[in-house]
A and B are shown apart, each in its own frame.
Chain A
């Protein structure tokens, strides 16, 4: 049983004070300061007056910024969906592998996770750029196809045009999927691993195919895992800064890039603060939706 703090006041103080003080001083106060700034105005190059104005929030819901918010949600949503579509079969295969293979596959999925995010994104740039390996492979295929056509007596294909795979929205989505795939696979795996397999066997014995069994039996059983995988992929993807910055073009800015610009080049801290808090509220809404769905599912299950 938990102990009441009154029964051991000294111990409680010694244990609770350091983490709580740290949290207050170096996390809550900084957040409170930008929250206050979001109601302020720039009155000089470095002075901000806290006037209690809502102008920053009004500016944030102008069409141009609303569009960026919407676009960030779309990109993060698409990323999450792709991660789910790729991650589910992978997690399924791992969950049903032999114990040895399972350990190895899990290690292989986790390993990129420990490598620096910046390095991973940079590695992707080297693969996707115009003189990168993907275009290199395509060129090779193209030239061979061209050679094969001349052998067959046709006109050779024209000069190979490298594809522009970088600096567009698709590159951002590819980059985000690349970075966030382990986030999706691990919760899915742990849900599938815990699942009661006799239900699947029953479904297969009663004549349902594999696809029907997976869609009608496995997916509902793994729903909590899917929901948490979706959430922990969606949240970081929504606030992603580095991926759109390095892989995106001029039109693929996400909300984090706009926030960064307000705090660095544009030097409009109050507006950047308002945008930050809007992004945070969006994150909280996503968490709240997930929690509500989860609770409803639990109640149905009980």
Chain B
């Protein structure tokens, strides 16, 4: 066919990504659109005249048939237009973008910390398997997995903000006012998010590496003249990273969702706060826009992981399966 297997692999994954997103958008649309109650009436209050409600409905595009409204919504999003918030009278895309300036950096910080802390701990534990270091690290990880991130956030505030006064207890100074202060505001929430994820990563990394260490090619490497740890380091880690990659993808997705919870502890103006206000004010356009952004982020991460697999694992490159 003249198409390389790698291209085919990419095309398939991207097509799958598009289909998943389309169906997800449909579900969100149906759920929120079939909601009983008229958003226009909700905004205007029960005393509004039927004419005023009808006028607002027309203005919000609510009088078009459902499939048309769905297509309009999708088409608008493809052009970067997520609609106008019904309560704040601002473009949803701008509202989300503004909050993403908090949520996204926070997710990144948490991700980097959890990888930098989790993977080495996992590798070290696997290398020292069965020894005291291994046991100690795994007890630590076992505890870390069990700590709710928002509660850990409270403890961090207590220690580093209230007692030691190293960092602010909460709130957020926008990036363009004082980037340093903005970053300082994200340190504790980032750590709070990162701890459980780092612990999970450490456990997965250790399990994967211990499994790989029992495989034949590690024995081959030792037969060639490597010590056990050299063999695990040179041949094991790369192979063990394959299962870890999947977890890494899931983690990024759940970290984004996790920020919604943790930003509550630190009074951060992130996506979560925006969504809660929108829910309580029944601003469906905004809820719809924010949830689809979260779903896109989750799905895109999964796609990225799949593509990374294609790069790392030569077996996938060939079969394109």
Q: Do A and B come from one complex?
A: no
Chain B residues within CB distance 8 Å of chain A: none
